[in-house]
Amino acid sequence: DSGVTQTPKHLITATGQRVTLRCSPRSGDLSVYWYQQSLDQGLQFLIQYYNGEERAKGNILERFSAQQFPDLHSELNLSSLELGDSALYFCASSPAVNQPQHFGDGTRLSIL
Amino acid sequence: KNEVEQSPQNLTAQEGEFITINCSYSVGISALHWLQQHPGGGIVSLFMLSSGKKKHGRLIATINIQEKHSSLHITASHPRDSAVYICAVRDYGQNFVFGPGTRLSVLP
């Protein structure tokens, strides 16, 4: 058990919809990372937060947004969903900015 | 050309064999990560390196910054080591770039 909790584990929705994925970091970790893993593009870095502030941005689409709340949990919002957004979404956390990360089990998003 | 390349793409070994997985990258980096992804999908961070060599149990990771190359070694391999091993680099823009992964199967 990594200590990182992601909910829900599975999500099935339709094109055009909006969903929210939630991540609770390991106790004491201030930094949260979001990643997308699709069959055709592998793992991609989306965004990183540190203590509530955006720290780094990767290949995150404009339809996607994220935030980290004062209690350090984070949410990834995906809107105007397309078939190509079907993927595994991982959250990871680390104590500070550039330290080894602990990964959650992922949320599997399926767009029908 | 991908910014992060791994070799081999697939690897089958017999239990007990010494295994090496290679990672080459083309950008300047602040750190390199080795990840293990199990068949069920879960990801474990094995190492984070910025120079030299690290060892954890039967796993050893090395990095040569000048040659932009890293290796992951597994000594006395075991079937439970069967997984996909992914190399990832963090560039100076704080972006993470992932390699395509190496699928390892260790046969008993």
Question: What pLDDT does residue B102 have?
Answer: 97
- Whether the pLDDT of residue A98 is over 90: the answer is no
Cβ-contact A74, B7 below 8 angstroms: no
Q: CB contact, 8 Å: A103 with chain B?
A: yes
Best of A43, A60, A103 to mutate (most B CBs within 10 Å, chain B): A43
Q: CB contact, 8 Å: B90 with chain A?
A: yes
Q: CB contact, 8 Å: B5 with chain A?
A: no
Q: Provide mean pLDDT across the span B90-104.
A: 93
Cis peptide bond prior to B108, omega within 30° of 0 = no
Cβ-contact A22, A72 below 8 angstroms: no
Q: CB contact, 8 Å: B27 with chain A?
A: no
Q: Provide mean pLDDT across the span B28-32.
A: 93
Q: Which residue of A has its CA nearest to B2?
A: A41
- Whether the pLDDT of residue A41 is over 90: the answer is no
Question: What pLDDT does residue B70 have?
Answer: 98
8 Å CB contact of B44 and A103: yes
pLDDT bin (cut points 50, 70, 90) of residue A29 is very high
Q: Provide mean pLDDT across the span B52-74.
A: 97
User: What are B100's two structure tokens?
Assistant: 């395509």
Q: What is the DSSP letter of A26?
A: P
- Whether the pLDDT of residue A15 is over 70: the answer is yes
- Average pLDDT score over chain A: 95
* Phi, psi of B88, rounded to the nearest 5 degrees: -140, 140
User: What are B83's two structure tokens?
Assistant: 């997984």
Kindly provide the residue ranges of all beta strands, DSSP E only, lying in chain A, ordered along the sequence.
5-7, 10-13, 19-24, 31-38, 42-50, 53-57, 64-68, 74-78, 87-94, 102-103, 107-111
Cis peptide bond prior to B39, omega within 30° of 0 = no
Q: CB contact, 8 Å: A48 with chain B?
A: yes
pLDDT bin (cut points 50, 70, 90) of residue B1 is low
Q: Which residue of A has its CA nearest to B49?
A: A100
